[in-house]
């Protein structure tokens, strides 16, 4: 075993690029960039005192594509589809935010049929995302079976998506003014008669396998505490903030499309620990099922797309649109000079803000608990890096 | 609170403010030197109580930079957009990460992408870009002959 300072002072070794490592005498380990528990290419530099975490320093940018810069040269019809590559698990909801922004700026009235389809697809995406999170989070904690259980139901969902959108993950189904085309003719039948009954019959398995499991409960109860004030101060949103008791569901606070016509509950927990974050997401799956059930058999007849000009020009000014993705509040901020491309665009991604609280909630806990805290934050790395 | 009531409240805190309306929310222009004490009052005031900084970014206007802060109150549900005009050659502004913790990461991102220096920031390092990166990629005059994609 070498001490870190011996290695650093030797001329034969590679020098690390972190200033923090050289300055202190602490024991430092790296998790990532290639590590199964980070779900992508996230690099965490962790300073330890024995087994206790002193500092977690995220090192980002391994999948940074500068989508913001790229969008400055894309038209308002094209830039929607780049955002599928940000948070790829809720790609449809990202596209929704961009389409809503263009509609708000141009004051386009979206046909009701398109609004219904959009919201149904949003909620299907949310279920798919939460199912994948559930499987992956359980795998982080050492349970491999839930991953297969989650993907068993999710497979049918991605098939439904593929029928309608032509893609399983990056849907690209939105256009400004509606959706690209009518859903597949079997869409309503497959969602209401095949998918929803299947998922509802399997939910109890999730509860029995993981939620009620005493080993799992011991690993998440009281771990990664985030208080109400800190959740707001760190800009957390989505299930992460709602587990700390913050009312932040954009679907309730600032409803878009037909969210003001459906009945659903904003899932709130007050404990603020990993178990609370877990419960919020599990209950959100049930709320999403309820939203889809209210809409799926009542899709009105009519156009699926409003008539818009071939070349879209946004008026001069600044526009902001937010939606509730599976991870939290996604904000799109566009500065327009009146041209066909944005002058400046900023994506306020939920993952970026949620990650910033990781150091705070893991400080002083054991390194084994880091994975439980990180798993229940539901980080998607392309969403953080953009 | 509506825009008119907000204007009265905000002017009481800092008389030198100028306002812009027309967008979705009230825009407040503030001098960079006044920003830090003003920000502290925005959070501390019981009537305003802007506790949620949900978007922090910068816009390059070629002649100057503008810091844009989207602030909201989780208690009163009102929103304002605060703008700070910065000099393009030496952009300096005081950090607000001790008031809203989320600013720490967002300011590091603006620091590397636009070259804005945040005074008194506890840990102003590059976050996304490699440590040896030269230049500020999101500025309008940035040129990279190898990696840049022009469409």
Q: What is B67-117 written as a DSSP string?
A: EEEEEE-TTT--EEEEEEEEESSS-EEE--TTTSTTHHHHHHHHHHHH--E
Question: Which residues on chain A are in Cβ contact (under 8 Å) with B137?
Answer: 66, 69
CB A158 within 8 A of CB A168: yes
Among chain B residues, the shortest Cα distance to A58 is held by B127
Give the mean model confidence (pLDDT) for residues B35-41. 88
**Block residue for tokens 């399983």:** A168
State which residues form the domain around A36.
4-59
Beta strand spans in chain A (E): 27-31, 43-49, 52-59, 174-175, 178-179, 317-324, 329-336, 344-348
Q: How far away is chain B from the Cα of A369, in angstroms, using its nearest Cα? A: 23
Using a CB–CB cut-off of 8 Å, the residues of B that contact A are 22-25, 51-55, 57, 59-60, 68, 70, 74, 77, 81, 100-102, 104-106, 125, 127-132, 137-138, 149-151
pLDDT band at B23 (very low <50, low <70, confident <90, very high): confident
How distant is the Cα of A262 from the closest Cα of chain B, in angstroms?
A: 22
Which chain A residues in 336-375 lie under 8 Å from chain B, judged by CB atoms? 343-344, 346, 348, 352-353, 355-357, 360
Q: Does the beta-carbon distance from A344 to B137 stay under 8 Å?
A: no
- For residue B39, is it within any domain? yes
What is the domain-level CATH number for residue A73? 1.10.645.10
Strand partners, B82: B28, B69
**Record: contact A17-B105, CB cut-off 8 A:** no
A139, A132 in Cβ contact below 8 A? no
How many inter-chain contacts (A to B, CB under 8 Å) are there? 86
Task: Answer yes or no: is B145 within a domain.
Answer: no
- Same-domain pairing of A35 and A128: no
Q: Is the Cβ pair B101, A356 closer than 8 Å? A: yes
Window 64-123 of A: residues touching B by CB (8 A cutoff) are 64, 66, 68-70, 73-74
Contacts of B151 in chain A (CB under 8 A): 70, 73-74
Residues in chain A where the model's pLDDT stays below 70: 1-25
CB contact under 8 A, A356 and B102: yes
Of B51, B102, B128, the CB nearest to A61: B128
Q: Given an 8 Å threshold on Cβ–Cβ distance, is B51 in contact with A346?
A: no
Question: How high is the pLDDT of residue A4?
Answer: 53
Same domain (yes/no): A149, A32: no
On whether residue B31 sits in a domain, the answer given is yes
A142 φ, ψ (degrees, to nearest 5): 100, 0
Burial class (CB in 10 A: 0-12, 13-18, 19+), A224: buried
Same domain, A200 and A330: yes
What would the two tokens of residue A22 be? 């050289």
Same domain, yes or no: A11 and A111: no
In what helix (H) or strand (E) does residue A280 lie, and over which residues does it extend? helix A274-296
ipTM of the complex: 0.88
In CATH, what number is assigned to the domain containing residue B65?
3.30.460.80
Q: Which residues of A touch B23 (CB under 8 A)?
A: 317-319
Round to whole Å and give the CA distance between A158 and A19.
45
Q: Please give the residue of chain A at the shortest CA–CA distance from B75.
A: A247
- Name the domain boundary from A59, A83, A105: A59
Residues A13 and A137 in one domain: no
How far is the C-alpha of B93 from the C-alpha of B37, rounded, in Å? Answer: 12
Q: Are residues A337 and A241 in the same domain?
A: yes
Contact assessment for residue A288 and residue A127, using Cβ atoms and an 8 Å cutoff: yes
How many domains, chain B?
1
Give the domain-ending residue among A34, A59, A84.
A59
DSSP A40: B
Residue A312, H or E segment: none
Dump pLDDT digits (tens) for B58-112: 999 989 999 999 999 988 888 999 999 998 888 889 888 888 889 989 999 999 8
Q: Across-strand partners of B71?
A: B53, B80
Q: Å from B14 to nearest chain A CA?
A: 23
Examine the domain organization and report whether A129 and A202 are in the same domain.
yes
A45 plus A92 within the same structural domain:
no
- Tell which of A320, A335, A339 to mutate to test the B interface (max B CBs under 10 Å): A320
Of A74, A233, A320, the CB nearest to B70: A320
Domain match, A76 and A98 both: yes
Q: Which pLDDT belongs to residue A334?
A: 92
The CA–CA distances, whole Å, from A285 to A1, A193, A257, A260 equal 48, 18, 20, 19
Contact check, Cβ <8 Å, B70/A333: yes
Say whether both A103 and A146 belong to one domain. yes
User: Which two tokens mark A339?
Assistant: 């041209």
Residues A48 and A75 reside in one and the same domain: no
Residue B28 lies in a domain: yes
Residue numbers in A near B105 (CB within 8 A): 352-353, 355-356
Count helices and strands in chain B by DSSP H and E runs: 3, 7
Q: Percent helix, strand, coil in chain A (nearest 5)? A: 50, 15, 35
Task: Give dist(CA A235, CA A367) in Å, integer.
Answer: 25
Among residues A98, A173, A102, the alpha carbon closest in space to that of A347 is found at: A98
Q: What is the pLDDT of residue A22?
A: 46
Instruction: Confirm whether B53 is domain-assigned.
Output: yes
pLDDT exceeds cutoff 50 at B133: yes
CA distance A59 to chain B (A): 6
User: Does residue A310 sit in the same domain as residue A371?
Assistant: yes
Residues from chain B that touch A385, judged by Cβ atoms under 8 A, are: 128
**At how many degrees (to 10) do helices A112-140 and A91-106 cross?**
150
| Residue B29, SS3 per DSSP | strand
Q: Which residues of B touch A348 (CB under 8 A)?
A: 54-55, 57, 70
Across chain B, what does the average pLDDT equal?
85
Question: What per-residue confidence (pLDDT) applies to A18?
Answer: 47
Number of domains in chain A: 2
Q: Which domain holds residue B73?
A: 3-119
């Amino acid at each position: 075993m070498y001490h870190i300072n011996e290695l650093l002072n030797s001329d034969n070794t590679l020098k690390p690029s972190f200033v923090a490592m050289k300055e202190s005498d602490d024991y430092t380990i790296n998790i990532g960039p290639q590590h199964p528990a980070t779900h992508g290419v996230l690099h965490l530099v962790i300073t330890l005192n024995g087994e206790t975490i002193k500092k977690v320093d995220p090192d980002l940018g391994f999948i940074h594509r500068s989508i913001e810069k790229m969008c400055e040269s894309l038209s308002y019809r094209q830039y929607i589809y780049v955002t599928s590559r940000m948070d790829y698990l809720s790609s449809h909801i990202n596209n929704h935010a961009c389409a809503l922004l263009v509609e708000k700026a141009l004051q386009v009235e979206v046909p009701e049929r398109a609004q219904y389809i959009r919201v149904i697809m949003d909620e299907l995406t949310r279920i798919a995302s939460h199912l994948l999170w559930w499987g992956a989070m359980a795998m982080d904690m050492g349970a491999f079976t839930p991953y297969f259980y989650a993907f068993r139901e999710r497979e049918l969902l991605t098939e439904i998506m593929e029928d309608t959108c032509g893609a399983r993950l990056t849907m690209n189904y939105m256009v400004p003014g509606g959706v690209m085309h009518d859903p597949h003719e079997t869409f309503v039948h497959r969602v209401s008669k095949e998918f929803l009954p299947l998922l509802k019959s399997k939910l109890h398995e999730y509860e029995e396998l993981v939620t009620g499991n005493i080993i799992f409960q011991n690993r998440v109860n009281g771990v990664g505490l985030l208080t109400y004030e800190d959740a707001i101060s760190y800009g957390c949103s989505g299930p992460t903030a709602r587990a700390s008791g913050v009312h932040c569901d954009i679907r309730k606070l600032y409803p878009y499309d037909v969210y003001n016509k459906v009945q659903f509950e904003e899932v709130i927990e007050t404990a603020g620990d990993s178990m609370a974050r877990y419960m919020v997401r599990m209950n959100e799956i049930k709320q999403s099922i309820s939203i889809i059930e209210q809409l799926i058999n009542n899709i009105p007849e009519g156009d699926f797309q409003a008539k818009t000009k071939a070349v879209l020009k946004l008026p001069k000014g600044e526009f902001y649109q937010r939606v509730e993705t599976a991870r939290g509040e996604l904000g799109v901020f566009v500065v327009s000079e009146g041209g066909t491309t944005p002058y400046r665009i900023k994506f306020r991604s939920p993952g970026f803000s949620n990650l910033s609280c990781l150091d705070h909630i893991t400080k002083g806990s054991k390194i084994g608990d880091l994975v439980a805290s990180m798993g229940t934050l539901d980080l998607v790395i392309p969403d953080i890096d953009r | 609170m509506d825009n008119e009531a907000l204007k009265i409240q905000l002017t009481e805190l800092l008389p030198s403010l100028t306002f812009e309306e027309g967008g979705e929310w009230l825009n407040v222009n503030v001098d960079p030197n006044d920003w830090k004490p003003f920000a502290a009052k925005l959070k501390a005031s019981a009537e305003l109580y802007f506790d949620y900084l949900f978007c922090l970014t910068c816009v390059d206007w070629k002649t100057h930079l503008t810091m844009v802060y989207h602030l909201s109150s989780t208690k009163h549900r009102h929103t304002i957009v605060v703008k700070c005009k910065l000099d393009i050659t030496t952009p300096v502004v005081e950090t607000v990460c001790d008031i809203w913790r989320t600013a720490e990461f967002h300011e590091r991102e603006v620091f590397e992408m636009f070259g804005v220096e945040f005074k008194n920031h506890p840990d102003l390092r590059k976050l996304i870009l490699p440590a040896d990166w030269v230049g500020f990629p999101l500025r309008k005059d940035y040129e990279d002959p190898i990696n840049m994609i022009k469409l």
